[in-house]
Amino acid sequence: MVEVCLIELPGRGIRLKEPLFTQLPPLVEAIAQNLEKHLDKPYAFFGHSMGGLLSFEITRLFRRHNIQGPTHLFVSGRSAPQLPSDEPPMHALPEPEFISELRRLNGTPREVLEHEELMQLMLPILRADFTICETYRYKPEAPIDCPITAFGGAEDESVTVERVEAWREQTSASFNVHILPGDHFFLHTSQLFLLQTLSQGLNRVLGGVSVRGYK
């Protein structure tokens, strides 16, 4: 049996009132501290978009501190970390322009975008997430020694196939890439194939034991 454990970041769900993180390193440290006591079994990471970056940097942090790392890293909808972004930053845009960009990215439901009160609640969270991603600075290290499987969307204009395939440089173990139909949020439109591929990969590397993931 595989156990899936999600991480709820500050500003979401029951952690709605907690201060938001706007920089990646302190968020990585905070997550790692909470995870360390749960790493008594083999595990894998799955992260989509910012979650993929978090999973990668936590894996590298564990290695630096000689903490048991994941047996497999699954990253989704995220350019390889060594590649600088070719998209103009949007985290500091005025509110109308910021909302317009959210609409273009197609990841926020139209009903949410058109709900003024809900958007006032969501905007600080979304800005914080974009700030984390857009201010991230990659620091070169040796490739990690666990396999990486990378997923991308065939119609994702910002995370192209080439940027997904560049994750190959980040592992000294095996590497696989899967390009699925859909845009950046292909994990919704191609959910069945994604889950089947994850299940097959987990059966190979974990043999049915616990897996802890990011969302």
Whether the pLDDT of residue 18 is over 80: the answer is yes
Instruction: Count how many domains the chain has.
Output: 1
Tens digits of residue pLDDT in 126-136: 999 999 999 99
User: Positive or negative, the Cα torsion across 59, 77, 136, 93?
Assistant: negative
For residue 91, tell me if it sits in a domain: no
User: Positive or negative, the Cα torsion across 47, 53, 54, 58?
Assistant: positive
Please identify which of the residues 49, 55, 76, 190 carries the catalytic annotation: 49
CB burial of residue 59 (10 Å; 0-12, 13-18, 19+): buried
Alpha helices by DSSP H, the chain? 24-35, 50-64, 95-105, 110-113, 116-134, 161-165, 186-189, 191-205
Q: Which residue has the tokens 């990690």?
A: 144
Specify the DSSP element, H or E, that contains 151.
strand 148-153
Percentage of the chain modeled with pLDDT above 90: 64
In this predicted structure, what is the pLDDT of residue 212?
Answer: 44
For residue 175, tell me if it sits in a domain: yes
Q: Which residue has the tokens 């273009």?
A: 104
To the query of whether residue 76 is one of the catalytic residues in this protein, the response is no
Looking at mean pLDDT, say which of 9-13, 22-26, 191-195 comes out highest.
Answer: 22-26
**CATH code, domain carrying 36:** 3.40.50.1820
Q: Which of 88, 84, 175 lies closest to 138, judged by CA?
A: 84
For residue 130, tell me if it sits in a domain: no
Q: What angle do CA 205, 206, 207 make, to 5 degrees?
A: 105
DSSP state of 144: B
Give me the domain span that covers residue 190.
4-85+139-212
Average pLDDT on 189-215 reads: 71
For residue 118, tell me if it sits in a domain: no
Structure token digits, residue 179: 């390009």
